[in-house]
């Protein structure tokens, strides 16, 4: 029976990847210890690999960007774990892949939602803010804001992403 079920899934690796990313995001949400553990054990690079390998998969994109949100999240205490994860995301050039993923899945409200949340968090780290601007994040956020006018939560996250991006003078100029 299991063999028939597995054969029925077109791409088991894609489905497994999306599921693992979703579970990672859930475990990291609001949990600095898990953020640190996942970050220390290569999760940031694995997320980047998943986005690179399965760029055309909306489910992988949604869950990978959701994982980026929670791995990169700055708590009020500005925990070291999140700074380390943000630094790693910058070193592996994740901001470029993030923008590319959002452009590829421009019609997905969930990709846009989690992408904007990830931009908001990553832009809080100065090096990533510059890289996001250079990668086209300002333009992609404006696109999200104009495309999803009836999706309040997407708009809210898009505005927060815009605010954090605009903290950088070069990015601020991109919005004018």
What pTM was estimated for this model as a whole?
0.89
Mean of pLDDT values over 148-167: 94
Torsion of CA 146, 148, 150, 151, to 10 degrees: -140
Structure tokens at 15: 């489905």
Structure tokens at 94: 């994740």
Q: In whole angstroms, what is the distance from residue 115 CA to residue 131 CA?
A: 15
Between 62 and 1, where is the model more confident?
62
pLDDT at 158: 96
pLDDT at 82: 81
Pick from 64-78, 96-110, 116-130, 131-145: least confident: 64-78
Structure tokens at 52: 């690179």
Mean of pLDDT values over 70-84: 71
Nearest Cα to Cα of residue 116 among 65, 77, 53, 80? 65
Pick from 24-28, 65-69, 145-149, 172-176: least confident: 172-176
Residue pair 155/145 in contact by the 8 Å Cβ criterion: yes
CB neighbour burial string for 29-42, b if at least 16 within 10 angstroms, e if fewer: eeeeebbbebbeee
Under the banding of pLDDT at 50, 70 and 90, the label for residue 13 is: confident
Q: In whole angstroms, what is the distance from residue 113 CA to residue 69 CA?
A: 10
Q: In whole angstroms, what is the distance from residue 161 CA to residue 155 CA?
A: 10
Report the chain's mean pLDDT, rounded to a whole number. 89
Tell me phi and psi for residue 125, to 5 degrees: -105, 115
């Amino acid at each position: 029976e299991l063999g028939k079920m597995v054969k029925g899934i077109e791409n088991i690796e894609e489905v497994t990847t999306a599921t693992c990313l979703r579970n990672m995001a859930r475990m990291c949400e609001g949990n600095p210890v898990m953020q640190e553990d996942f970050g220390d054990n290569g999760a940031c690079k694995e997320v980047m690999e998943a986005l690179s390998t399965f760029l055309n998969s909306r489910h992988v994109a949604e869950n990978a960007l959701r994982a980026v949100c929670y791995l990169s999240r700055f708590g009020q205490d500005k925990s070291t774990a999140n700074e380390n994860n943000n630094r790693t995301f910058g070193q592996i050039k994740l901001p470029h892949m993030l923008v590319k993923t959002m452009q590829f899945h421009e019609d997905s409200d969930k990709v846009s939602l989690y992408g904007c949340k990830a931009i908001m968090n990553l832009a809080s780290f100065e090096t990533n803010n510059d890289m996001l601007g250079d990668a086209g994040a300002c333009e992609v956020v404006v696109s999200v804001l104009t495309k999803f006018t009836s999706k309040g939560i997407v708009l809210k996250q898009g505005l927060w992403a815009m605010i954090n991006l605009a903290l950088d003078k070069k990015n601020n100029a991109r919005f004018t």
